[in-house]
A and B are shown apart, each in its own frame.
Chain A
Amino acid sequence: MRLLKDKHSSFIAAAALAALALGCTPTNPDSGNGNSTTTTTSTSGGAKRPATTAPGNKITGDTILIGLVASQNGDLRPWGVDSVNGAQLAVDEVNKAGGINGKKVELRIGDSASKPEQGKSACEKLISDGVVGVLGEVASGITAQMAQAAYEKGVPDIAIGATRVDLTDIGNNVFRVCYTDDFQGPVMANFAYKELGRRNMALMTDKKQPYSTGLSASFRDTFTKLGGKIVDEQFYESGQTQFTAQLTQLKAKNPDGIFCSGYFNEVGPIARQTREAGMTNDAVKLLGGDGWDSSQILETGGEAIIGGYFCNHYNGQEKRPEVQDFLSKWKEKYPSNPVPATTMGALAYDAAMLMCDALKRAKTPDSQGLRDAIADTENFKGVTGTITLKGNNGNPPKRAIVVELTKDGQRFAKAYEPSEVVR
């Protein structure tokens, strides 16, 4: 090995190793693929969820403690702030109406700082403080960790916006108020095929995010089942800035739309570069999932993203009374930011309301009674739609909304009930 004896080259080799180590970028909290402690069976529906055997907490005294884990720092802060506001709004409303069986509800908040490990310790802290149930998180990766902690302690968890399919397989204490990724893919495929008349779609997938790869796969399945064709799929990596080469390849395949299943951070620049490649807003539609839900996308995408459609949980322009009621209460309580910045405000409100509703129905004043009551929830009228958890293994069949991006923000396009979507 002459090469390694050479001092010069061995030094470069050491430096290169360091470069490789630096090349491992920090994992996004939403990917959450590092949870080796979770025993997932990954098939949703019909899967046997392990039952919690730990005793959980009991309600003592005159206040009922419930916990919320939210990102008050880090990348996901806008979503975290909205979750806190939404849940607090619900709790105040319940207390104003006399509380639960004469007892006041108190919301305790733990900061996950957008990191899975911190979400776990925040959840453990809340449970040791005596909460009977926890709410959160919005990101699947963090939810996986905190739900596992709640499972070990026998406390029920209602996730707010975590859409990854296998989360509820952690245990029978895990529930959510949002739809799952294997629903929003089909919704967008139906919309693209039937409403927009698209036949030859291309996919842009963020290979680093399990969220994105899963969403692309479910879109592909439904779209081809409906009779459409996926002409090409190109991959990129979160944090990447240049997509021109991928788009050159896509353009040669003549797609009439591109499904961008990643997060808004990359979708904005992708949109700009798509238009620069000569694919116009009309001829090549851009579509995506709820990872687009941020006002930021209009800044990063500029004019190129206008006319794009994505799947969301809720939209403030809907005329349903639940939505309008919710918005007027929100405006009254938070006059400085009169509308929730993201859908997480509405989802957190629903999660907290559902937990309070279950507390009323609970047969025993402890975590176990609360868990059973949540699992028995039927036709709960939420802001984001009707929620039925009974017989659904924690995943409620939920309505989804397709919204269009305009200069002024999101515009309601169409709502889909679970039964209307061809899968």
Chain B
Amino acid sequence: MHLFPHLLAGLEFRTLPEQLVNGLFLGAIYALIALGYTMVYGVLRLINFAHGEVYMLGAYTALFVSYALGFGVGSTVTSSSVLNLLIMLLASMTVCSIVGVVIERFAYRPMRSHSRIASLITAIGVSLFLQYAGALFLPNSPPPSINEQVNPFRGSTQLTLVGPPASALQAIRDAKPAAEQATAAFNNYLKAHPTESEFNISPAGQPLRDAARTAEDKLESAEREVTGSGVTITIRYGELIIFITSLILMGILKYLVSNTRPGRAMRAVSHDFDSASLMGVNVNSIVTFTFIVGSALAGAGAMMQATFKGTPMTTFFGLLPGVKAFVAAVLGGIGNIPGAVLGGLLMGVAETLMIWLGYSRYADAIAFVVLIVVLLFRPEGLLGSAEVDKV
């Protein structure tokens, strides 16, 4: 294991701005999932380990809705609209809310009067149940993925902080005519000799092919010079949408929690479960409300991840994001809503910075290193209060 040569070899500071943006975009999804963990913990003092599986079911819902909208396997539909995406988003959020409520009603509520460790083990049980029982009913072999055509916002744009050298742009203009000419000459040769192809060529065609290659190489290397030099930030439209939607959803959540009656009741229950119920708060409906909101956020994250990234799905789709989001929630201070958002964004940035430092091999391990460090030095998390629950 060579841990240090990278540091000595010098870091690519040119890529740092783009990596920070990558980190924030990645962290937005972690934050969305972490909110579900943290809200449930705030109200019930329960780590809902099945939250990752709710996320997984959200992704499958988006898949099925995309099939229903005509973007099935082998579909030739190539035009989509924002409306389709909205339908998928709302469907995922709705299904996840229902799943969350059902899990709470039938798995957690009967355990509420028992010790907390019993609830925790129930949560792990529900998680495993959904992973393995889900595999019996959900298509997972080969892993399906959402057709990219359903997403009208493909591609990316580049923000240029420092442009490529003018010489590189000039090189492209210089190389272009020669490359086009040589390629056309080689294509003419291929047309005249139908038995030959680019990779099975007779000695007679060899010089033409090589000439075309050399000219194209010159053009391509000039193009790469332009994409690779300078300081740019690539913004993928899909990720931008994920980020903005996440911010909007978090804004709505903030409003719900601080400005509405159920939000106030939720804070009351979180502050003191028993007193709140004595003061006339319907605790059960508030718990249900919490599960609805937390699960809907996970559903939104899952739909966006599955649609804009084209990730293939298995019933373990939610495992790694779930664990990382849990760490994010602990990092921010579990039970604390702004803490979950901060923790999520920090986790995303930490992961990309590991890659920037040259340790892509250990990028996933950083989540667990963070977890251990937080537990050792600040178990209440960055924004959590050090106050111990009343016994």
Contacts and interface: CB of A to CB of B under 8 A. Distances in A.
A22 B142 contact: no
Contacts of A78: 141-142
A251 B227 contact: yes
Given A25-B319, A197-B213, A236-B360, A296 B142 contact: yes
| B interface secondary structure, majority | helix
B47 interface: yes
B150 to A, nearest CB: 11
Interface in A1-42: 3, 6-9, 11-16, 18-20, 22-23, 25-26
Interface in B264-301: none
18 contacts: A11-B45, A23-B319, A23-B320, A75-B140, A75-B143, A77-B141, A78-B141, A197-B213, A235-B363, A239-B316, A245-B26, A249-B19, A249-B356, A269-B311, A276-B236, A299-B145, A300-B311, A300-B312
B375 A12 contact: yes
A244 B117 CA distance: 39
Given A296-B143, A300-B310, A273 B379 contact: no
Interface in A235-280: 235-237, 239-242, 244-246, 248-249, 251-256, 265, 268-269, 272-273, 276-280
Contact of A74 (B141, B154, B363, B368): B141
B326 interface: yes
B310 A272 contact: yes
Interface stretch (B88-96, B218-226, B244-252, B253-261): B218-226
B12 A269 contact: no
A423 B375 CA distance: 51
Interface in B109-125: 116-117, 120, 124
B144 to A, nearest CB: 8
B192 interface: no
Contacts of A76: 141
Given A241-B311, A282-B220, A283-B227, 11 more contacts: A3-B376, A16-B330, A23-B368, A74-B141, A76-B141, A245-B356, A248-B356, A249-B12, A255-B224, A283-B224, A300-B312
Contacts of B391: 7
Interface string A277-309: 111101110000000001010011011000000
A240 B320 CA distance: 8
Interface in B65-86: 73
Contact of B15 (A7, A114, A235, A252): A252
Interface of A: 3, 6-9, 11-16, 18-20, 22-23, 25-26, 73-78, 114, 195, 197, 207, 234-237, 239-242, 244-246, 248-249, 251-256, 265, 268-269, 272-273, 276-280, 282-284, 294, 296, 299-300, 302-303, 402, 413-414
A235 B310 CA distance: 20
B170 to A, nearest CB: 18
Nearest to B238: A276
Contacts of A279: 224, 227
A268 B360 contact: no
Interface of B: 12, 14-15, 18-19, 22-23, 25-26, 45, 47, 49, 73, 116-117, 120, 124, 127, 140-143, 145, 147-149, 154-156, 158, 197-200, 213, 216-217, 220-221, 223-225, 227-229, 232, 234, 236, 238-239, 305, 309-312, 314, 316, 319-323, 326-327, 330, 334, 351-352, 355-356, 358, 360-361, 363-364, 368, 371, 375-376, 379-380, 388-389, 391
Contact of A245 (B158, B216, B355): B355
A279 B391 CA distance: 59
Given A7-B389, A25-B320, A242 B309 contact: yes
A18 B120 contact: yes
Contacts of A15: 47, 120
Contact of A278 (B49, B234, B321, B356): B234
Contacts of A284: 224
Given A78-B142, A235-B360, A8 B319 contact: no
